[in-house]
Structure 1
């Protein structure tokens, strides 16, 4: 039953949780958790180290880091700044790691030291559909510098700054082209050192909607979370490192019903007359419960995805938070607040 159990999610940590709930050990997959008490952020790292682990998880080999921020949907500007700084700090580690690999792979170039790492930022999604507009909204607020460097040289930007270009390729229904095809063409012409992709994701748990950020060095599979598979954007297809940033903005309708059923089962335990029904349903594992729900709601609700009612305001707020993190990263100022605290 576990093998047939297909969970609609883009979050690696939720895939790992699914196996843990069914008491299935996945070899080649390592899970690490920590908690930032000061900023109230839970940090989960899932490392898929083997092809067997990748097959079981349904995700490529790589590192998937997830920040769970329960208050990210709130309108507290000061707190969102803290989230931006935290996100920028983790992104800096990813980018520095790739920069180091590039230098070690070809010591003769030394281009990263001379001119700064060149990053192509790709905002995936459909600007006309709010839950899918995160990528385009983030790109709208970035400090783009490639044209300034081309015009004035390195003197046109700050010394520590990275060279930034950006594109919003739209979706196939708008362009008639695969997103990966457009990005490949841009990469061929502009020759960046790496790609940074921003996209809206699908989650398994409604509590993670607009409250979670995932970073991955394994690239991205556009539309995979909602069952709409498109050509992948990865290091293998692009020829350069790809770092993906995503925020879950939609959840499968079957998931909401399944979560409701979990609460219903818990309520049955307190009822003397209906306790027997709860005992029967408790005997189902997570996979069996989910499949039962899918059968009960089919065909009208099966395949429907749901988003919160305040998604317009939330997407704009989160896009600003992510763009601020990226601007810190691009300016070379990521992690400076942590360094100040250490020296204080």
Structure 2
């Protein structure tokens, strides 16, 4: 079964724009109209910039017009401080360019997700490690005066904990604090196993909490909040339907290469595929999400990298050594 057919049949969403773009290009074997792509290979990262340019691109990609930057960092799994520092600097540079902030801008950081569920705790953990300054802006250490922007932060929880739509909480805070920019951090769902914990996506189009796990909530974007919104996401889970489909695809590839089994291969059809997957995933259908065993360590590492990148990009007067010292 083609991956696009699988996603449609099982109502599975793809959070990463780069994966949606790869899927469309693969199925059509051509460039996606209304969409541009640029790839930059660095020492410890590959930076892919997808820009949805017009309404045709919006229809093809199924997401808002804007810029989506994916930073692939497979070495994030390595326990190497210098590598992590380089990844942090790369993310900081991309954020600085995308945000384009004035020196006196005020920023609200929003850590989306459920702090009680480790795969969904990225946002709250980033907030826990971030350098917030709004409450102390006039009382900062002498060596930091003139180097900071006003940054406030909130981890609002999820609807199941608060009974309040997350967008409503954030909108109320925005109306009172009046930030120039909101930066929302959230865990995403990957379309391939190798991207779990290794692909950081930033975009200027906002975010829809819970969309990757089929629990779409009210969007957090400029339209709903009245100010610019930058989204930062990291895949921490993957839908089991995609994994099961990949296993069947591998089996069929083996059948194709065997003359004795080629007749069996020809008997398979998309409908047979769907029936097999339905049985394998019963009773969860598209509601079974998979995450690595070491997800707690993965969340801690990536949360520190993202918090560090935010500190460096939001407070440009702070050096790399200083941001490490003042991080919570």
Trace 1:1-344 onto structure 2 (pairs within 5 A): 4=8, 6-23=11-28, 26-36=32-42, 38-39=43-44, 41-96=45-100, 99=101, 112-113=102-103, 116-149=104-137, 151-152=138-139, 157-278=144-265, 291=274, 294-302=277-285, 303-332=287-316
CA distance in 1, matches of 2:39, 2:318: 22
Q: CA deviation at 1:209?
A: 0.5
CA distance in 2, matches of 1:60, 1:223: 17
Any conservation in 2 of the 1:8–1:252 contact (CA below 8 Å)? no
Any conservation in 1 of the 2:49–2:70 contact (CA below 8 Å)? yes
Q: CA deviation at 1:134?
A: 0.2
SS at match of 1:215: strand
CA distance in 1, matches of 2:19, 2:272: 16
Unaligned runs of 5+ in 1: 100-111, 338-344
SS at match of 2:37: strand
Root-mean-square deviation (CA, aligned residues, Å) is 2.6
Any conservation in 2 of the 1:85–1:335 contact (CA below 8 Å)? no
Unaligned runs of 5+ in 2: 322-328
CA distance in 1, matches of 2:318, 2:23: 34
Q: CA deviation at 1:331?
A: 2.0
Any conservation in 2 of the 1:254–1:293 contact (CA below 8 Å)? no
Number of residue pairs matched? Answer: 314
SS at match of 2:216: coil
In the alignment, which residue of structure 2 is the partner of 1:103?
none
Q: CA deviation at 1:326?
A: 1.0
CA distance in 1, matches of 2:73, 2:273: 26
Which stretches of structure 1, 4 residues or longer, exceed 6 Å deviation after superposition? 153-156, 334-337
Q: CA deviation at 1:18?
A: 1.5
SS at match of 2:157: coil
